[in-house]
Amino acid sequence: MDQSLREALLSRVGPSGLLEGPDLDRYTTDHRRLYRGQARFVVRPSNTAEVAAVVELCATQGIAMVPHGGNTSYCGGATPDESGLQVVISLERLHRIRAIDAVGGTLVVEAGCTLRAVREAAASVGRHFPLSLGSEGTCQIGGNLSTNAGGTQVLRHGMIRDLVLGLEVVLPDGRVLNQLRQLRKDNTGYDLKQLFIGAEGTLGIITAAALRIGTAPRDALTALVGVESLEATLALLGRVREAFGDLVETFEYMPESAVTLALKHFPQLKNPFDTAHPAIVLVEIPLPAALSGLHESFAHLMAAEIEAGRVRDAVVAHSLSQADSFWFLRENIPAAQTREGASLKHDVSLPLDRLAEFEQRGLRIIADLIPGGRSIGYGHAGDGNLHFNVSPALGIEKNSALEAAFLGHKESLMRALHDLVAELGGSFSAEHGIGRLKVDELARYEDPVALDLMTRIKQVLDPNRLMNPGKVVLPK
């Protein structure tokens, strides 16, 4: 039976479109190594017609499919299950830039383009695609769209959903939904493309997108600001936005525990401050060419803040390489935590005026449940999203019994923190999605009416439950 499926797949994608053999790990294991699945085949179509042909074949034969991008999901959203029956459909060979319109500010790209390739395509015509993620060299735009990626510029530009004008999607029955319009205005019925953004490949496979690109910044102010607390960070956000309005693009919070970890595991990093601060904020304000005086205004504001005792210290980058080193500190926190050993991760968002309360109460929960556990709760404070992660107590060795005991607290810690998030009106998955990891959490915390609608939408589009089954919503 596998032989006839193999031949049928080969006839649709050719020999370079079919991967077999033992080395399929990167398609079957998620990057956090939470799930080790197995694939019946990994297919790599090279254009939309081939994706449609593969999907139609699988649909006809009742074979479950798992769309796969750059494999950077935090929730196992692109990993097949352990049955060995599912076919992984990798989009990596769909990597063409189909069109660029610098004047209209639109870019049409295929799903397998890396985020970096998309940003470079925009830059090649003097434009800017304002989605910024640490994984930009690996993650693919189809995956970014499927998970409604956020990142470090949401404060100014919104999540990727806000940057999409049109989509092309292969539906679970193999039909191609062409909504690849490049229009700023288009009020023609239901906005179907929004259904597929953030659906994590459970409703169809995004094969191409028309994206909005903006003016490329000519200059940017990048600074690190030492502060007392998250509360002080948020108060500072208010004053920075009062002064610079919607130009503020990045406002990232790094508590001392996260900075210490990054400095420990990346010795090439230098602490730009002479003394330690309870928290450091990374601020970036990019400038269109026409404006000037930003650096002076920012320096004045910081002088006044320090004078008033609201800020401890501030350093402004004076070169691109210094700005890069500030970013390096922030972007390597997740990698530093991985190098440190096991971790328990929570990707939460709160209304801004409840964020500091969440942190204080969350820290108490960690201290109560995990004696010695180190909270590494950093993230996109400007938009209310914290990666409220925990590492084991210092001295606990990798792969030791004590580490296993630490990981044994996963469920109780998650429950306590997610209950707190719900109480404060937040989200238990701010930007990493649901995937396989948080299916039960969605069922538990989502409004029952919303959950019912999601299940029905899934049923309408994918009645045979063949498109990325086991992710996001389960059938009733």
Encoded one letter per residue, x for contact with ligand MLT by CB under 6 A and - for no contact, window 264-283 reads --------------------
Do 36 and 54 form a contact (C-beta atoms < 8 A)? Answer: no
Query: Which residue, 277 or 387, has its beta carbon nearer to ligand MLT?
Result: 387
Query: Which residue, 204 or 334, has its beta carbon nearer to ligand MLT?
Result: 334
Query: Which residue, 142 or 334, has its beta carbon nearer to ligand MLT?
Result: 334
**Minimum gap (Å) between residue 301 Cβ and ligand MLT:** 26
3-state SS, residue 330: helix
* Residue type, position 165, single letter: L
Query: Which residue, 111 or 336, has its beta carbon nearer to ligand MLT?
Result: 336
**Residue written as token pair 């086991």:** 470
Q: Could you say which DSSP state residue 283 is in?
A: E
**Minimum gap (Å) between residue 297 Cβ and ligand MLT:** 28
Query: Which residue, 198 or 334, has its beta carbon nearer to ligand MLT?
Result: 334
Q: Which of 104, 134, 174, 217 binds ligand MLT (CB under 6 A)?
A: 134
Q: Which of 465, 476, 458 is nearest to 199 (CA)?
A: 458
Q: Is 130 in the site for ligand MLT (CB under 6 A)?
A: no
Provide DSSP, 225-237: EEES-HHHHHHHH
Q: Could you say which DSSP state residue 250 is in?
A: E
Q: Is 379 in the site for ligand MLT (CB under 6 A)?
A: yes
Helix 256-265 / helix 333-340 crossing angle, nearest 10 deg: 70
Provide DSSP, 277-334: -SEEEEEEEEE-TT---HHHHHHHHHHHHHHTTS-SEEEE--SHHHHHHHHHHHHTHH
**Minimum gap (Å) between residue 431 Cβ and ligand MLT:** 6
Dig out the tokens for 294 from the structure: 């930003």
Q: Is 346 in the site for ligand MLT (CB under 6 A)?
A: no
Query: Which residue, 41 or 388, has its beta carbon nearer to ligand MLT?
Result: 388
If one counts every other C-beta atom within 10 angstroms of the C-beta of residue 160, the result is 27
Q: Which of 398, 402, 409 is nearest to 368 (CA)?
A: 409
Q: Which of 68, 156, 346, 387 binds ligand MLT (CB under 6 A)?
A: 387
Q: Which of 112, 334, 362, 384 binds ligand MLT (CB under 6 A)?
A: 334
**Minimum gap (Å) between residue 256 Cβ and ligand MLT:** 17
Q: Total binding residues for ligand MLT by CB under 6 A?
A: 5
User: Cα(41)–Cα(60) distance, rounded to whole angstroms?
Assistant: 16
Query: Which residue, 208 or 366, has its beta carbon nearer to ligand MLT?
Result: 366
Site of interaction with ligand MLT (CB under 6 A): 134, 334, 347, 379, 387
